[in-house]
């Protein structure tokens, strides 16, 4: 090996070692302040913002957007925005709720977001959420069509004055919930998908109460481990362990056992099937 190549390799290896040691010192010494009252440093903020931008761009480059200028779609999007988005992001003349004021990083101003993100990018962010930001993945709570409705409203939001927003809010509040409320299309339920079930376990916060093999979550739990659940004779000690009973338990645990601490998380039929498919892979060796 030529001397200059050896010098380059040693220099790179040394730099990597120093960076690793420095990072370990910062993490384990507690130097970095994780409190929500201290904003990220400029370098960390820029790194996160750049990572977000590049990640979303890469995953939406081939995503076509439907027509978003339909008046009915925009009005449906307003109702969904008012029910699910304004609490954190606010709106013209409307402040976010108190819990959102303490989030770090702060929720984005959507009046500006629609100017810098394309419709497909906004749709992706709403659908899949953003890690470590407080932005949830709405794909488990809204249909894809409803998410596009929200995007349609967001695209016209910058033209709203506070008076416009209040006027729409009053008009929407006066409308009866039925029969004018949009009817969700029938969702075709497919067979359970193991990968989708693993993701759903995280979205429904199962990992906050249970140890689940191969699913990263909290280190402290209040419920039993789900390791080996596929081999157990009973579910929750009361139901014979069959696929049908697993779906029943996931979707309505308090109906099965009124004294259970496991809450009804409003798990959809499809998500329950996906979760069950994953749980039945957790066998004792």
Residues of the chain with CATH 1.10.760.10: 48-174
Contact between 202 and 193 (Cβ < 8 Å): no
Identify the architecture of domain 48-174 in CATH: Orthogonal Bundle (1.10)
- pLDDT value at position 65? 93
In the CATH hierarchy, which top-level class contains the domain 194-279? mainly beta
Look up residue 238 and give its DSSP letter. T
- pLDDT value at position 189? 77
- pLDDT value at position 67? 94
Cis peptide before 274 (omega within 30 of 0): no
Of 57, 55, 268, 9, which is closest to residue 143 (Cα–Cα)?
A: 268
**Residue ranges in the chain whose pLDDT is less than 50:** 178-183
Q: Is 211 exposed, middle or buried (0-12, 13-18, 19+ CB in 10 A)?
A: middle
- pLDDT value at position 2? 73
- pLDDT value at position 1? 66
CA gap 72, 76 in Å, rounded: 6
Element (H, E) at 240: strand 239-240
Contact between 209 and 218 (Cβ < 8 Å): no
The string of pLDDT tens digits covering residues 51-105 is 999 999 999 988 899 999 999 999 999 999 999 999 999 999 999 999 998 888 8
Residues of the chain with CATH 2.60.40.420: 194-279
pTM for this structure?
Answer: 0.81
């Amino acid at each position: 090996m030529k001397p200059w190549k050896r010098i380059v390799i040693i220099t790179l290896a040394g730099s990597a070692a120093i960076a690793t040691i420095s990072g370990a010192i910062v993490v384990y010494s507690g130097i970095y302040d994780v409190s929500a009252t201290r904003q990220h440093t400029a370098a960390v903020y820029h790194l996160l913002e750049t990572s977000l931008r590049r990640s979303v761009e890469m995953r939406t480059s081939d995503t076509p957007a439907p027509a978003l200028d339909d008046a009915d779609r925009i009005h449906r999007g307003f109702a969904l925005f008012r029910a699910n988005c304004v609490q954190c992001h606010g709106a013209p003349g409307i402040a976010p709720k108190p819990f959102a004021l303490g989030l770090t990083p702060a929720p984005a101003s959507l009046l500006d977001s629609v100017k810098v993100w394309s419709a497909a990018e906004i749709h992706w962010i709403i659908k899949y959420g953003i890690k470590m930001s407080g932005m949830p993945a709405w794909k488990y709570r809204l249909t894809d069509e409803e998410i596009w409705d929200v995007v349609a409203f967001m695209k016209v939001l910058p033209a709203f004055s506070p008076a416009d927003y209040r006027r729409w809010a009053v008009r929407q509040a006066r409308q009866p919930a039925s029969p004018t409320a949009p009817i969700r299309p029938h969702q075709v339920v497919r067979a359970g998908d193991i990968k989708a079930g693993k993701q759903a376990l995280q979205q429904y916060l199962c990992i906050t109460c249970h140890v689940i093999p191969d699913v990263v979550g909290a280190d402290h739990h209040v419920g039993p481990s789900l390791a080996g659940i596929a081999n157990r004779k009973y579910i929750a000690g009361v139901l014979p362990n069959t696929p049908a009973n697993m779906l029943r338990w996931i979707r309505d645990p308090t109906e099965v056992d009124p004294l259970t601490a496991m809450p009804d998380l409003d798990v959809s039929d499809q998500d329950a099937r996906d979760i069950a498919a994953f749980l039945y892979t957790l066998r004792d060796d």
